[in-house]
Amino acid sequence: MEVPSCQSRSSYDDCKKTADWLLVRTKQRPRVAIICGSGLGALADLIDDKMVFPYQDIPGFPTSTVAGHAGQLVFGKLQDRECVCMEGRFHYYEGYSIHTVTYPVRVFFLLGVETLIVTNAAGGVNGSYNVGDIMVIKDHINLPGFCGQSPLVGHNDDRFGVRFPCMSDAYDRNLRTLAIQTAHEQNCGGFLQEGVYCMVVGPTFETIAESNILQRFGADAVGMSTVPEVVAARQCGLRVLGLSLITNKAVTDYDSNEKANHEEVLATTGLRARDLQRLVRHLVTKI
Ligand SMILES: *[C@@H]1O[C@H](CO)[C@@H](O)[C@H](O)[C@H]1NC(C)=O
């Protein structure tokens, strides 16, 4: 098993080696990549003509350590659209460097991917959100970035993109519109939201005071992933669509007896994962 390292392992040459290794082993040339969040790996089950690469077999690739994350790259067809699906992602809280967390995104770019769909399980911060809602990510707050943890810190290789990338257009407007349309067609409109995702490092869930801060920051949902991948993807010009499944509600009231826990997160994803999968499956054909 790979020991999470603090060193940057995502130089252009490292990523290129990994991408080239994959390109000689599969004939597929996906234009769409999907990152499956906690409990959402079943999306990969819907893929036909599968070609599966366990992370530990891929040179340069980190390996996954969280329960509920399978840890493999799946190439194949979703409704006849070629795509590559990451079943199991890397979290900063696992001890990986922020550069390692974004390694797969840069590999996707070098594979020729143009669109990235990121999914995650998130806590509802907006008081009107319900457990089981699907949120189209409209924007994000990079809280670790505020504190110096950005995947773009360090030497900038122009082959990935510019030193100071724009983030005001991080979540593609056309893809968001398409996602909302598709959700209504798939009868998911009743539990659809559009909002702001805030990343925290975790692995603790938020204190009550922290949840109150997030609300005041303008966050609608909070989670421990996604933002580094999106930052890296935007730097190298990938279009991004983000979808959060609201699996629990952040506690903002000192009189509440509710407590966030990982089992609840997995149970909720189990219930609504199917809807989210259906949504992504139909969306992919329209991209
Ligand atoms: C919470 O979500 C609702 C419904 O999506 C939205 O109308 C509202 O503006 C959000 N509240 C805040 C404080 O952002």
236 domain-assigned:
yes
Can you give the pLDDT at residue 162?
A: 95
Residue 261 known to be catalytic: no
Distance, CA of 95 to CA of 149 (rounded, Å):
13
Question: Atom of ligand 1 at shortest distance to CA of 215?
Answer: 13
Distance, CA of 187 to CA of 55 (rounded, Å):
35
DSSP H/E element including 212: helix 208-217
Provide the residue type at 27 as one letter.
Answer: K
3-state secondary structure of 247: strand
Residue 1 known to be catalytic: no
54 domain-assigned:
yes
pTM of the predicted protein model: 0.92
Residue 69 known to be catalytic: yes
2 domain-assigned:
no
Ligand 1: residues whose CB is within 6 Å? Answer: 126, 128, 193, 220
3-state secondary structure of 100: helix
69 domain-assigned:
yes
For the chain, how many helices (H) and strands (E)?
8, 9
3 domain-assigned:
no
Domain that includes residue 152, residue range: 12-284
Q: Which of 64, 126, 225, 244 is catalytic?
A: 225
Distance, CA of 74 to CA of 86 (rounded, Å):
6
Residues 6+ apart with CB under 8 A from 71: 54, 55, 56, 63, 64, 87, 88
Bridge partners (DSSP) listed for residue 86: 35, 73
C-alpha torsion sign, points 103, 109, 112, 115: positive
What CATH number has the domain bearing residue 64? 3.40.50.1580
Bridge partners (DSSP) listed for residue 197: 140, 221
Can you give the pLDDT at residue 7?
A: 43
Q: Which of 11, 93, 167, 210 is catalytic?
A: 93
238 domain-assigned:
yes
7 domain-assigned:
no
Give me the tens of pLDDT residue by residue for the chain, a chain 287 residues long.
444 444 455 799 999 999 999 999 999 999 999 999 877 777 888 899 999 999 989 999 988 665 555 689 999 999 889 999 999 889 999 889 999 999 999 999 999 999 999 999 999 999 999 999 999 999 999 999 999 899 999 989 999 999 999 999 999 999 999 999 999 998 888 899 999 999 999 999 999 999 999 999 999 999 999 999 999 999 999 999 999 999 888 888 888 877 777 777 677 777 788 888 889 999 999 98
How many angstroms separate the alpha carbon of residue 266 from the centre of ligand 1?
Answer: 25
Question: Atom of ligand 1 at shortest distance to CA of 127?
Answer: 1
Mutate to test the pocket of ligand 1, among 220, 244, 249, 252 (most ligand atoms within 8 A of CB): 220
Residue 94 known to be catalytic: yes
Q: How many domains is the chain built from?
A: 1
Question: Atom of ligand 1 at shortest distance to CA of 218?
Answer: 14
Q: Which of 10, 19, 33, 38 is catalytic?
A: 38
224 domain-assigned:
yes
Looking at ligand 1, which residue's alpha carbon is closest to its atom 6? 128
Can you give the pLDDT at residue 4?
A: 42
211-214: long-range contacts, CB 8 A cutoff, minimum separation 24: 211/125, 211/250, 211/251, 211/252, 212/252, 214/125, 214/250
Residue 156 known to be catalytic: no
Residue 197 structure tokens: 């995702």
Distance, CA of 61 to CA of 57 (rounded, Å):
8
Looking at ligand 1, which residue's alpha carbon is closest to its atom 11? 126
Residue 225 known to be catalytic: yes
Can you give the pLDDT at residue 67?
A: 57
